[in-house]
Structure 1
C-alpha cells in the first residue's frame, strides 16, 4: 500500500492558494490587442483580442500599450491614464459622428501616444473633435490622419496652472472646422489661465480647414504661455493659415517656424495679434494667400504690436487681396546672423 503524508498535501495546497490570491482575476495587462474580428468580452490577449479601444483600455494597465492585430474600426475612446495606441503596421481607424474620436483626460503625470490611426468624422454626420486633450502631462500623435470634425482636428487645452506638451509628427489634419463657427478649424492651442503649452510640429500638414488652420489663442486668460516649434509641413486652408493672439495681459505666444510652406490660404498666411506674440521665421515660403480677403496685407500681417521677425531667408511673394493686387505685407524686422 502507498501511504501519502497529508502534511505535504496540505502545505502544497496552501502554497497554491496563496499564489492564486496574489493574481486577482481582474488584473490588467501591460500589452493588449484589438482586432476587427475581436470581442470586448475577451481578455484582449494576442490570441483573444478585443473589438474596440474602449474595451481594451479597461484591461490595459497604466503605462501599457494597445496594439492592432489587423484592420478594423476601433471606436471612440476616453483616456484617463498613460497609455499608447500603436497601430502603425495595419489599417486602423476611429470613425465617429457627433462626438470626439479621442478624449484625453488623464492624470497630471500621464503621457498618451496615438500612432498609425485614421481618425475620421463621416461626411454628412461629422464628429466634434478628432482629438481633444483636456488634462495630462503630454500627448504624442504620429503617423496619423485626422479628418472631418466640426470643431477641431486637434484641440489642445491645458488646465489652469498646468504645463503639458503636444508633439505632432507626420500628421495630416484635413477638412476640419465649420463655416458657422469662427473658432473652429484644424488645430487649436488654447491653454487656461496660468498654464503652459509646449508644442512641436514636425512635418505636419494642415489643409482645407474652415476659418483657421493653426490657432494659438490666449483670449480670456492671464499669465499663460504657448511655445510652438514647427519644422517642415504645409499650411493651406480656407481662412487664416497661422493665427497667434496674445493681447496685453493675457500672456505670451512664441513661434519658431522653419522650412514650412504657407500657401493658398483664403485669408491671411500668417497673422499676429497683440504685443504678447513673437514669431521667428526661417526658410519658409509664404505665397498665394488671400485672394478672397480684402485685408491690406495677406501674406504676413502683424497687428496690435505683435512681432513677426524673419531670419532674412524667407520667400514672401504672390499674396493678393480681393482686388487682385499684390499684398504681401512684411515681417516686422530681420534677425541678424550671429
Structure 2
C-alpha cells in the first residue's frame, strides 16, 4: 500500500509541477529522502520525497541524489539530468524519458521494481542519449509486453547500459529484459557492457519491423542472457524494415527454455558473434526469413538440443 501511495504522490507531483505557474527548476543538485517532502526545496537539509518532486526543482543538466534507502516513485524526464543513488538502495517504479533533441540523461545506482503491475521500467522516447549504470530491473510483467528497458526513440538516439541486471521481466507471451527499436529513417545505437538478463521472456531484442530506412546498430559485450523463457538474443525485422547490425563479443547465451540462444530473423538482420558461449538452449544458433548470422570461429556452441552451427556464415578475423 505504501508503494502504491508513493507512486500516486509522485505522479501528482509531476502533474502539479508541469502546470503553468508551478515552481521553476532552480537547483544544480537536488536531494531526496524517505522522510522528505516535495513542498521543500530539495536541498540536502530539506530533501524532497520523490524523484518527480526533485526533478521539478532541478535545472537542466543538474543532478538528483539520494540521502537514504526508500521508494521514490515514478518520474517523467523532459530535460537533461543525472539521477545518481550509488551506494543507496533507492527504489524507483518507472522512468519515462521524453526530453529535448540534445539532452543526455543518466540513471545510476537505481533499483527498478515493477512489482508485477507496471508495464516497463525505463522508457526512452526522445533525447540524444540514455546512460544506465549499475541498476537493477525486476518484475516488469504487468502488461501484454513488459520490458525492463524499452529504448524506442522517435528520432536518432544512443543507449549505453553497463553493470546492470534485468530479471523476471515480460509477460507469459512477450516482453523481456531489453527492447531496442528505431523509427522510420532514424539510426539507433545501443551498447551493452557487463549486462545480465536472467529469467525474462526475451533476453535482448532488437526490433526493426516496419521501420523503413532505419538502422539499429547494437553491441553486446561481456554480458549474459540466461534462463529466459524465449530467445536469449534476437534481432528481428521485415523486408523493407530497419537494418539490424549486431555484434556480440565475449558473452553467454545459455539455458534459455525455448527459441534460440542467438537468432537472426529477417532479410535486413546481420548478427556477428565471437568468443561466445552458447549452451543448454533448445536451439543454439539459427537464422530465419533471410537473416544472416556470421561467426568469427572463436565460439563455444555445444550442449544445446540442436546446436544449429550449420546456420553460421564464417567471417574472417581482421
Give your verdict on TM over 0.5.
yes
Work out the number of aligned pairs and report it: 290
Aligned partner of 2:242 in structure 1 is 251
Aligned partner of 1:10 in structure 2 is none
Find the aligned partners of 1:109 and 1:244 in 2 and give their Cα distance.
28
Aligned partner of 1:289 in structure 2 is 281
Find the aligned partners of 2:310 and 2:161 in 1 and give their Cα distance.
29
Find the aligned partners of 2:308 and 2:210 in 1 and give their Cα distance.
30
> What is the DSSP-based 3-state SS (H/G/I as helix, E as strand, rest coil) of the residue aligned with 1:239?
coil
- Kindly provide the CA deviation profile for residues 197-219 of structure 1, in whole angstroms up to 9, marking residues without a partner as x: 10000000011112x21111111
Check the 8 A contact 1:318/1:328 in 2, yes or no. Answer: no
Structure 1 stretches of 5 or more lacking a match?
1-24, 291-297, 321-325
Aligned partner of 1:75 in structure 2 is 73
Deviation at 1:49, TM superposition (A): 0.7
Q: Which structure is larger by alpha-carbon Rg, 1 or 2?
A: 1
- Kindly provide the CA deviation profile for residues 7-62 of structure 1, in whole angstroms up to 9, marking residues without a partner as x: xxxxxxxxxxxxxxxxxx85511111111111111100111111110000000001
> What is the DSSP-based 3-state SS (H/G/I as helix, E as strand, rest coil) of the residue aligned with 1:301?
strand
Mapping for residues 1-338 of structure 1, pairs under 5 Å: 26=24, 28-94=26-92, 96=93, 101-122=94-115, 125-150=116-141, 151-159=146-154, 162-179=155-172, 181-182=173-174, 184-210=175-201, 212-236=202-226, 237-267=228-258, 268-290=260-282, 298-320=283-305, 326-338=306-318
The TM-score normalised by the length of structure 1 is 0.83
Check the 8 A contact 1:141/1:169 in 2, yes or no. Answer: yes
The TM-score normalised by the length of structure 2 is 0.88
Deviation at 1:332, TM superposition (A): 2.6
Deviation at 1:173, TM superposition (A): 0.7
Check the 8 A contact 2:104/2:127 in 1, yes or no. Answer: yes
Check the 8 A contact 2:210/2:242 in 1, yes or no. Answer: no
CA RMSD of aligned residues (A): 1.3
Find the aligned partners of 1:26 and 1:279 in 2 and give their Cα distance.
47
User: Structure 1's 27 and 137: CA in aligned 2 closer, same or farther, altered over 3 A?
Assistant: closer
Deviation at 1:126, TM superposition (A): 2.1
Deviation at 1:247, TM superposition (A): 2.3
User: Structure 1's 225 and 173: CA in aligned 2 closer, same or farther, altered over 3 A?
Assistant: same
Find the aligned partners of 1:231 and 1:270 in 2 and give their Cα distance.
14
Check the 8 A contact 2:286/2:312 in 1, yes or no. Answer: no
